[in-house]
């Protein structure tokens, strides 16, 4: 397991400079009534706005707004997706002018409308499925997350996925997608790679990806870890959905030590404390206070 090569994480996304002595935090705020984890807790506009306020207060560097669940379910049209996300996005842009705002979408038409409304980053969890999403992202000078899904169609589950080398597949696909993004005009300094834990992967494959993260980090592209409360944690520990925080934080700590640049999280406070503790143990961050017997 390799240690991070830099004491500080620095990124520039859509002209916004992010710099921390720990991995960055992307807070999840779902504008859906049926997300796998929160079951619609931020579906109502007031609840979503309160969640953004709370995430910023707890130390989130990026807030990720999504209007379509990743899991199979009722169709959400592009118009519905935009109507769900845009009001919260506009409010957040006005309330926090300096905040980096991400949109979790895989459709170019939705990305176009939401980037025009003030978003900074396109978190395309479905790996460039819509070929128009890269030129749209480039046109706005926004950042882009290059994800790996093993070829899945959006909002579908895999059936017994097979890889000769799962991390080799992740590296090859995400690096190629990142290079395509640059060729389309997306600023290179705003691109992240996401191995996309559990998307197109069973639990054993997701664990192998987590173990092999240094191979992805060694590509030189910043890596986004998005595994908050996912199925790999539930199956590994045999715990229910509401019992996955400890496992999530354990993996988060290990991946932070490896050198991931950003962590996507439901629980911002707990994630921030975990990342700060890792950074302090590694010597990259001083303690918030050191008073005993000093």
Q: Is 286 contained in some domain? A: no
Give the H/E segment covering residue 256: helix 245-258
Q: Structurally, how many domains does the chain consist of?
A: 1
Q: Is 269 contained in some domain? A: yes
List the CATH number of the domain containing 200: 3.20.20.20
The residues, ordered by sequence, that sit 6+ positions from 44 with a Cβ below 8 Å of its Cβ are: none
Q: Is 232 contained in some domain? A: yes
The CA-based angle 220-110-23, given to 5 degrees, is 30
The residues, ordered by sequence, that sit 6+ positions from 200 with a Cβ below 8 Å of its Cβ are: 148, 149, 150, 151, 152, 158, 161
Q: What is the pLDDT of residues 260-287, one digit of tens each?
A: 999 999 999 999 999 999 999 999 999 9
Q: What is the pLDDT of residues 80-100, one digit of tens each?
A: 999 999 999 999 999 999 999
Q: Is 291 contained in some domain? A: no
Are the CB atoms for 256 and 279 separated by under 8 Å?
A: yes
Q: What is the pLDDT of residues 148-207, one digit of tens each?
A: 999 999 999 888 999 999 999 999 999 999 999 999 999 999 999 999 999 999 999 999
Q: Is 2 contained in some domain? A: no
Q: How far apart are the first and last CA of the chain?
A: 34
Q: Is 290 contained in some domain? A: no
Are the CB atoms for 228 and 37 separated by under 8 Å?
A: yes
What range defines the domain where residue 237 resides?
Answer: 9-281
Two tokens, residue 172: 């090859």
Q: How confident is the model at residue 125 (pLDDT cuts 50, 70, 90)?
A: very high
Q: How confident is the model at residue 35 (pLDDT cuts 50, 70, 90)?
A: confident
Confidence at residue 59, expressed as pLDDT on a 0 to 100 scale: 98
Q: How confident is the model at residue 101 (pLDDT cuts 50, 70, 90)?
A: very high
For 223, how many CA atoms within 13 A lie in the half-sphere containing its CB?
29
Arithmetic mean of pLDDT, 91-120: 98
Are the CB atoms for 101 and 119 separated by under 8 Å?
A: yes
Q: Is 292 contained in some domain? A: no
Q: Is 294 contained in some domain? A: no
Confidence at residue 5, expressed as pLDDT on a 0 to 100 scale: 45
- Separation in Å, CA 275 to CA 28, 197, 232: 17, 19, 20
């Amino acid at each position: 397991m390799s240690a991070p090569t830099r004491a500080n994480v620095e990124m520039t996304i859509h002209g916004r400079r992010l710099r921390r002595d720990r991995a960055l935090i992307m807070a999840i705020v779902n504008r859906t009534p049926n997300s796998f984890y929160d079951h619609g807790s931020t579906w109502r506009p007031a609840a979503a706005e309160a969640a953004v306020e709370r995430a910023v207060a707890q130390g989130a560097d990026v807030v990720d707004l999504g209007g379509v669940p990743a899991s199979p379910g009722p169709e959400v049209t592009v118009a519905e997706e935009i109507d769900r996300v845009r009001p919260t996005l506009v409010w957040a842009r006005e309330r926090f002018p300096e905040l980096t705002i991400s949109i979790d979408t895989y459709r170019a038409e939705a990305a176009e409308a939401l980037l025009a409304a003030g978003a900074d980053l396109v978190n395309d969890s479905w790996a460039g499925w819509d070929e128009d999403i890269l030129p749209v992202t480039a046109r706005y000078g926004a950042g882009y997350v290059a994800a790996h899904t093993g070829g899945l169609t959006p909002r579908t589950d895999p059936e017994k996925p097979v890889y000769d080398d799962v991390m080799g597949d992740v590296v090859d696909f995400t690096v190629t997608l990142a290079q395509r993004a640059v060729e389309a005009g997306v600023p290179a300094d705003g691109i992240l790679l996401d191995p996309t834990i559990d998307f197109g992967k069973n639990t054993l494959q997701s664990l192998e990806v987590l173990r092999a993260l240094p191979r992805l980090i060694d590509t030189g592209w910043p890596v986004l870890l998005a595994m908050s409360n996912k199925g790999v944690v539930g199956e590994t520990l045999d715990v229910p959905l509401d019992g996955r925080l400890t496992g999530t934080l354990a993996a988060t700590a290990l991946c932070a030590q490896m050198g991931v640049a950003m962590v996507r999280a439901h629980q911002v406070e707990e994630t921030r404390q975990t990342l700060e503790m890792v950074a302090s143990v590694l010597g990259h961050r001083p303690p918030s206070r050191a008073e005993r017997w000093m």
